[in-house]
Chain A
Amino acid sequence: MNGVLNISSSPHTRDRWTTPYIMRMVVLSLLPATVVGIVVHGWQAFGIIALAVVSAVASEWVFNKICHKPDTIWDGSAAVTGLLLALSLGPKTPLYIPVIGSVFAIVVCKGCFGGLGKNFINPALAARCFLLISFANAMTIKPSLDAVASATPVGALKALEQVDITKMFLGTADGVIGSSILALLVGGLLLWSLDIIHGQICFSVLIGFTLLIGLFGGEGFNPRFLLAHLCGGGVVMGAFFMATDYVTSPVSRLGQFIYGCLIGVLGGIFRLWGNTADSFSYAIIIGNVCTPLIDTYIVQKPLAYRKVGKTRPVKKEPFRIPRPVIALTIIAALAGLALSGVYSVTKGTIEAQEIAKETEAYKAVCPDAASFANADQAEKALKEYEGKTTRVNKAYIAKDAAGNTIGYALNVSSKGFGGTVTLAMGLTADGKIIGISFTELNETAGLGMKADEPAFREQFNGRGGELILVKGTASGEQEICAITGASVTSNAVISAVNAGLDLYETTLKGGN
């Protein structure tokens, strides 16, 4: 034996869980909300987050130095406090606010009470409330200029106005930086599935709040109404990240359940009958203050003292769905919902793009037109085409800058070899083809696709009346030469064009 052997009391092993590990996981679970916040709200949000985190860590370091305490910034709790505070601030908050808040949180709420584990209220929340009271004006979340709503969603909720739940869910509505419910839920469920936060707390907060709002909110258990309340005002953030703070929540399961319900119910009461949008912060702080009381009186007894009888059924390992599976399922469901939300948000944009593309095709076949107007006289005729293989889809009147009719633009289609063939065709005012342009053509490469080559396409230019397809060489006025080896495609194009010409003859001609 070369060295001296260490002596210590058993046990001689330790779990891999450490305080910094827990703090790292909390930061990781807040990352989705942080990223969404920065993406939606821009660089000022990033500045607020960075300033809050940096000043929280710095003030802890300075405080420990001044008070001759050991350095504790490596445990990560100061960074978590700073991040939580930043995420509960508005994106347009002046930059001195997060600094003041972080210093207050770390020095007054945490340091002065003895540091990590000794604070009686959640430092981030206490700082937020301090800022709300002291800097009411700077803390007000101002709606962005282009927003139609005149207040934040919670303000709107209080005024019983309609709110956009999808926007609140995704975090694109006006609100604090960390207001993306989807991102917060992903993080919160991650923490829950890793066993870092206690399900008794976060779920009892949500249940207590939902029950109160449902019973006394005046709208009953209307899911839309409940969802709107749950998505707003920091309920999710509070339930998963603030109320579950270890230091300021009770230890026993029963105590945690009572504490969670208390917060949920208080939050609901403040929301319904209070006059502030920040009700949930106050509810959690009151819960924090009740924690020592709960911990003193609600203590679990050892197993041997819980049951009166001596025997109870043999404890078999019950079948349990693993928590990560539950969390993943919920996240997948939420992501699905969110994607459908994204679709509904972007649907308008996609439509606008399609219209622009179509207009471009018309411009190509009617180069002289300045604008296109709906051909009202063709409306009835267009209806008759619906459902037919060869049809005219749309008809527009092409007008010059002065508003005179200079021709017509039609969208026609027929069935080709590889699917529907759709094309835009331009007609002069006297019914001669100006040009055709394909908008949908999925034919065989080298054969049917030759339809889009000038050799075939430009045959139509200047023609009118009813066109006939011929093989080999075209000679007559009405004849169009088919594409070799692609008679189905050629036929489709001719039929579609003829349908357009027919519509001109029957309804458009002469009208304006």
Chain B
Amino acid sequence: MRNTFRGGVHPEEHKELSRDAKLRQFDPQGEMVFPLQQHIGKPAKTIVQKGDTVLVGQRIAEADGFVSAHIHSSCSGKVKAVEKRRVLTGGMAECIVIDNDREFTPFADYSVRDDEGNLSENDIIQRVQDAGIVGLGGAGFPTHVKLKPKDPEAIEYVIANGAECEPYLTCNDQLMRTQAPAIVEGLELVLRLFPNATGVICIEDNKPEAIHAMEIAASGKARIKVQAMITKYPQGGERSLIQAVTGIDFPISKLPADVGCIVQNVGTLMAIQRAVLYHEPLFRQCFTMTGEAVSEPSNFMVRVGTSYAELLEACGGIKPGTEAVKALAGGPMMGIAMGSLDVPVQKQNNGLTLLAEDPVAEAEKMMTACLHCGRCTTVCPVGLMPQLMADAAIAGNLERYEKKLYGLECIQCGSCTVACPAKRPLMQTFKQAKAEIQEKKKREGGGQK
């Protein structure tokens, strides 16, 4: 049975570029850069100094508080500097720079299985926290925080997110095809924390091989089932998955755990398995290099801190005859447009899409006034009315935007913007309106104090 959520769009997939490229380990040759902030929360604090020698998997920065995550080196070599470097969002951020000795000497042996079968819930969460695991789906929320809801017994579903609804990206597909047993084992570890939960592995139906592999790996496991989802963006969004699996919609002020759900990306689940059973910290993840301007689109197990430029070289560089006009960290729906490729891969990154044509630039030429066609309302997965929200935001009627139209419920998935035939920049308008409202609230809140 294929499940889905309400609304959504179906952008062109372009997954054929890299969907059959096998995951391969990539060992970079150049220097490695580790930003101290690779997660939501407070930046980590560095625990190494210039000149220190570090090994693969060695901790180089420590979490600062509960909502934060440790950072581990992914190469061996000498610490070259702790300084501000450019990161993919375009700004400068504090980074640890390591001179890679290209030996990749491990800090510990990560192939020994340390599983007495009697790990307590706290042991599991502690090992996840020690490994510095964050959500690998893109948000980078520290995983140990997610695994500690107020009431673990109230959790009904642990959803393994293998939807990969983002166009172009295929690394989760390859990961599920080749590492299905490890992912299922990771899910079983998480299920041990939630005695009343069922594990549901959700995969879009454009990945039949992955569904097959996961079904084999999950067969005979009473608490785990695999569910095919209709291929539709944003199927892989937390809220869309929860709606598809449980039928529950919940306001943006609530967390998935409030409605009895924990959602973990399949990559994160594999990292959990490696961390809990092998003490391996998070220093590599699956990653797709794709786009029309890439010579050989590939899927990698990439080391955190690798330069995007070096990854592009490993894919044969820019495809002859094409010109890269846009580089996206991630896919075209949620990805961040990068100004330069000389920035490091962070934990929560899962791909680079190098476009030979910029659909946004093309679309801007076709922009007309809003027709009020209502397509945005049809596709909105939250059930909002984007065109009325845009009218209110442009008119400066933030009261109506917030109270009558529930504008703050927008999850910024961008479906409305993709669907708009008049090519209006809807999501940008909403981002701005949201920021203005929050600014106003802050001011008023400050006035009361």
Q: Which parts of A100-139 form the interface with B (CB within 8 Å)?
A: 114-118
Interface residue from A17, A198, A249, A315 paired with B4 (Cβ < 8 Å): A315
Q: Across the interface, name the chain A residue whose C-beta is closest to B419.
A: A15
Over the window 455-498 of chain A, the binary record of Cβ atoms lying under 8 Å from chain B Cβ atoms (1 yes, 0 no) is: 00000000000000000000000000000000000000000000
Does residue A1 face the partner (Cβ distance < 8 Å to B)? yes
In the bound complex, residues from chain B placing their C-beta under 8 Å from that of A159 are none
A12 touches B368 (CB 8 A): no
The 4 A-B pairs of least Cβ separation, nearest first, read A11-B414, A117-B369, A303-B383, A303-B249
Category for how many chain B residues contact A: 35 or more
Most buried by B among A300, A302, A311, A317: A302
Over the window 332-358 of chain B, the binary record of Cβ atoms lying under 8 Å from chain A Cβ atoms (1 yes, 0 no) is: 111111111100000000000001001
Does residue A402 face the partner (Cβ distance < 8 Å to B)? no
A317 touches B230 (CB 8 A): yes
CA distance A118 to B167 in the complex (A): 35
In the bound complex, residues from chain B placing their C-beta under 8 Å from that of A118 are 369
Interface residue from B247, B324, B359, B375 paired with A5 (Cβ < 8 Å): B324
In the bound complex, residues from chain B placing their C-beta under 8 Å from that of A5 are 324-327, 337-340
Contacts A9-B428, A299-B404 given; indicate if A14 touches B3 (C-beta within 8 A): no
In the bound complex, residues from chain A placing their C-beta under 8 Å from that of B373 are 22, 246
Does residue A305 face the partner (Cβ distance < 8 Å to B)? yes
In the bound complex, residues from chain A placing their C-beta under 8 Å from that of B6 are 303, 315
B383 touches A301 (CB 8 A): yes
Does residue B272 face the partner (Cβ distance < 8 Å to A)? no
Give A110 Cβ to nearest chain B Cβ, in Å. 11
Contacts A304-B250, A315-B5 given; indicate if A12 touches B360 (C-beta within 8 A): yes
In the bound complex, residues from chain A placing their C-beta under 8 Å from that of B245 are 314
A6 touches B325 (CB 8 A): yes
Q: Which residues of A contact B (CB under 8 A)?
A: 1-3, 5-15, 17-22, 72, 75, 114-118, 198, 246-247, 249, 251-252, 295, 299-307, 310-317
Q: Which parts of B402-449 form the interface with A (CB within 8 Å)?
A: 404-406, 409, 414, 417-423, 425, 427-428, 431
Contacts A247-B371, A247-B372, A316-B3 given; indicate if A7 touches B382 (C-beta within 8 A): no
Most buried by B among A6, A20, A304, A312: A304
A15 touches B421 (CB 8 A): yes
A3 touches B369 (CB 8 A): no
A299 touches B405 (CB 8 A): yes
CA distance A372 to B362 in the complex (A): 78
CA distance A60 to B77 in the complex (A): 69
Q: Across the interface, name the chain A residue whose C-beta is closest to B259.
A: A310
A317 touches B427 (CB 8 A): no
In the bound complex, residues from chain B placing their C-beta under 8 Å from that of A304 are 249-251, 382-383, 409
B251 touches A305 (CB 8 A): yes
A14 touches B368 (CB 8 A): no
Q: Across the interface, name the chain B residue whose C-beta is closest to A7.
A: B337
Most buried by B among A11, A21, A198, A299: A11
Give A74 Cβ to nearest chain B Cβ, in Å. 9
A10 touches B385 (CB 8 A): no
Interface residue from B248, B422, B427 paired with A19 (Cβ < 8 Å): B422
In the bound complex, residues from chain A placing their C-beta under 8 Å from that of B1 are 316-317
Interface residue from A251, A301, A303 paired with B387 (Cβ < 8 Å): A251
In the bound complex, residues from chain B placing their C-beta under 8 Å from that of A313 are 247
CA distance A222 to B407 in the complex (A): 49
Main secondary structure of the interface of B (DSSP, over half): loop
Contacts A3-B323, A3-B325, A115-B369 given; indicate if A311 touches B246 (C-beta within 8 A): yes
Does residue B187 face the partner (Cβ distance < 8 Å to A)? no
B325 touches A75 (CB 8 A): no
A305 touches B406 (CB 8 A): yes
Main secondary structure of the interface of A (DSSP, over half): loop
B369 touches A116 (CB 8 A): yes
Q: Across the interface, name the chain B residue whose C-beta is closest to A20.
A: B366
Interface residue from A75, A247, A302 paired with B251 (Cβ < 8 Å): A302
Does residue B398 face the partner (Cβ distance < 8 Å to A)? no
CA distance A311 to B370 in the complex (A): 36
Interface residue from B11, B323, B339, B371 paired with A246 (Cβ < 8 Å): B371
Q: Across the interface, name the chain B residue whose C-beta is closest to A19.
A: B368
Does residue B384 face the partner (Cβ distance < 8 Å to A)? yes
A13 touches B366 (CB 8 A): no
A303 touches B334 (CB 8 A): no
Interface residue from A15, A251, A302, A317 paired with B372 (Cβ < 8 Å): A251
In the bound complex, residues from chain A placing their C-beta under 8 Å from that of B375 are 17
A8 touches B406 (CB 8 A): no
In the bound complex, residues from chain B placing their C-beta under 8 Å from that of A307 are 249
A8 touches B366 (CB 8 A): no
A10 touches B427 (CB 8 A): yes
Does residue B12 face the partner (Cβ distance < 8 Å to A)? yes
B336 touches A10 (CB 8 A): yes
Does residue B301 face the partner (Cβ distance < 8 Å to A)? no
Q: Across the interface, name the chain A residue whose C-beta is closest to B428.
A: A9
Q: Which parts of B221-243 form the interface with A (CB within 8 Å)?
A: 230, 243
In the bound complex, residues from chain A placing their C-beta under 8 Å from that of B12 are 13
In the bound complex, residues from chain A placing their C-beta under 8 Å from that of B326 are 5-6, 8, 12
A306 touches B383 (CB 8 A): yes
CA distance A8 to B423 in the complex (A): 14
CA distance A425 to B355 in the complex (A): 86
CA distance A295 to B418 in the complex (A): 23
